[in-house]
A and B are shown apart, each in its own frame.
Chain A
Amino acid sequence: MKKSVKKPVLAVGPFHPLQEEMEFFQLTIEGEIVTDIDVRLSYNHRGIEKISEGLQFDQIPFLVSRICGICSASHPLAYVQAVEEIAGVKPPERALYVRTIINEFERIHSHLLWAGLAGHFIGYDTVFMWAWKYREPVLDLLEEITGNRNNYGNVRIGGCREDIPNELIPKILKELDEIEKKTEMLTKAILDDPVLHARLKGVGVLKKEDAIKYAVAGPTARGSGIAIDVRRDDPYAAYADLDWNVITQPEGDVFAKAVVRLLETFESIKMVRQALKKLPGGPVSVEVKEIPPGEAIGRAEAPRGETFHYVRSDGGNRPVRHKARAPSYVNVPSFKASCIGQHISDVTLTLAAVDPCYSCTERMAVLDSGGKVIADYDMLLRLSREKTEHIRKSLGLPKKKMEDLPIG
């Protein structure tokens, strides 16, 4: 016991609760209906907030980009914006545009990743393979710009680390056309599929009043008819200069969340195009010498919702307090509202609909009222797939094969 106390896990801070970490959901059921859900997390606590107090201001962006591999542009951006507010620094115009472009690339690849996983959960493995294939070129572009496919580490206090070279713009535009075309086909295939309509509509409904009570963010809120988006409500980077729409759906079910994410992908493509067209010249960073005493918050709209950072400085070269909140921290507890009363074959999907990671649903067990484990992840996945198959048969539709699909 003494040994485990000495480990660096001592420190505290909210890691991103759903990506790459383990979580445990305990469902209590009666018959096949879920009556209670308990979430256990922090199996892999990294103490980011405590570590942050020991690092210098300019080292922290690289730390917080590791809160989540997928949201690794949003966290540093929110942090850097807080520090820039304390220091009264305004980054150069071009840096604001570069930040916008990187963050929208992040949203495109994250939403495609989610679409693939959602397909996998209901037994549409073809969707999984397409979506992940279409995601690849986005990661390649990010690598070409920042040097990394994930954990880009591209923002710094006062601007950006790497610029987007002007000669790369034609290539990005060409790739965007390609990504848009493919996402369009994917979206059409998903939204026109009668099986998916039957499978996803009315499942895992998060009512608007529950969404407010649980203070959810991002596509989870927008899928329940709450039109919030930090990019529009409290514009940062270059978002105020761009013309785009906040996508909302009123239903609150899994289908609504899928529609929000798919349509948002097109808005992101639109934004990147506009930002590239307007990209101003000049440097991408300014020198920041010291951070005065003060406090500020910074926030950014990550693919899963609002990422929020609070920083307090006493004038030294390290923060005295740095708080980070990932969007899943508020989205996950809303399962209490959306999963109770659901059929167990719909639970994997309901949990997946707020865009948690694969590894968390993997750790799910179902208990009967006596506390005995009666189903594990594999069984739940099978149940979910069987339900899709059953709906397909009752609609009298043929089973889709890879070669029947319109996309190469």
Chain B
Amino acid sequence: MNQQELNGKISQIKDRLTAIEQPLPNRVYLSCESENCYSVNKFLFEEVPARFVIATGIDAEDCFEIIYHYSYDQTGCVINLKVFIRDREKPAVESITPFLPAAEWIEREIHDILGIDFINHPNLRRLILADDWPDGVYPMRKEVKK
């Protein structure tokens, strides 16, 4: 699949996306709301299929963002899927670990640092915070100072 065919493939799911941007030929940024997170990720991993790289959790002040980064190695394209979680009180999104074991650690990490709940995650134990770290303090939230 070349880059044009890849773009065509991605546009199959455009009804589930709120934005598609392509600042460079091999850098694609997709946006979607949290209810479509699972199905769009499943499409990227199983249908494209792209290689999962990592996810970045961001406290964007008015909402939480998780950017799922995928790499489509045949064209060297990085597909970044931005998922917006609007509920700041009880942020939650469906886990993608059940079909993508590579996401297990990063979902646990984002749970640690931002307090986002991953629904149906098989093992949402602490990954990087110390055992004596207080509950309910999420170090990468903006209100936590250095």
A contact set with B: CB distance below 8 Å: 1, 4-5, 9-12, 14, 41-42, 45, 47, 49-51, 53-54, 85, 212-215, 228, 230, 233-235, 296-297, 299, 306, 308, 310, 312, 321, 323, 325, 329-330, 333, 336
CB-contact partner of B58 in A4, A85, A297, A321, under 8 A: A321
CB-contact partner of B102 in A4, A213, A306, under 8 A: A213
Looking at A10, A12, A85, A329, the one whose CB has the most chain B CB atoms below 10 A away is: A12
Q: A85 vs B74: C-alpha distance in the bound complex, in angstroms?
A: 21
A12 touches B128 (CB 8 A): yes
Q: A346 vs B58: C-alpha distance in the bound complex, in angstroms?
A: 40
5 tightest A-B CB contacts, nearest first: A234-B76, A215-B102, A323-B56, A325-B54, A42-B128
B112 touches A45 (CB 8 A): no
Number of chain B residues close to chain A: CB under 8 A: 39
For residue B24, which residue of chain A has the nearest CB? A85
Q: Is B48 an interface residue (CB 8 A)?
A: no
Cβ–Cβ < 8 Å partners of A296 in chain B: 27
Which of B4-12, B33-41, B86-94, B130-138 makes up part of the contact surface? B130-138
CB-contact partner of B134 in A5, A49, A50, A306, under 8 A: A5
CB-contact partner of B130 in A4, A85, A321, under 8 A: A4
Cβ–Cβ < 8 Å partners of A50 in chain B: 139-140, 146
Q: A145 vs B6: C-alpha distance in the bound complex, in angstroms?
A: 42
A234 touches B78 (CB 8 A): yes
Q: Is B105 an interface residue (CB 8 A)?
A: yes
Beta-carbon contacts under 8 Å, B96-146 to A = 100-102, 104-106, 109, 112-113, 127-130, 132-134, 139-140, 144, 146
CB proximity of A340 to chain B, nearest CB, Å: 13
A228 touches B73 (CB 8 A): yes
Q: Is B80 an interface residue (CB 8 A)?
A: yes
For residue A213, which residue of chain B has the nearest CB? B101
For residue A297, which residue of chain B has the nearest CB? B78
A333 touches B102 (CB 8 A): yes
B129 touches A42 (CB 8 A): yes
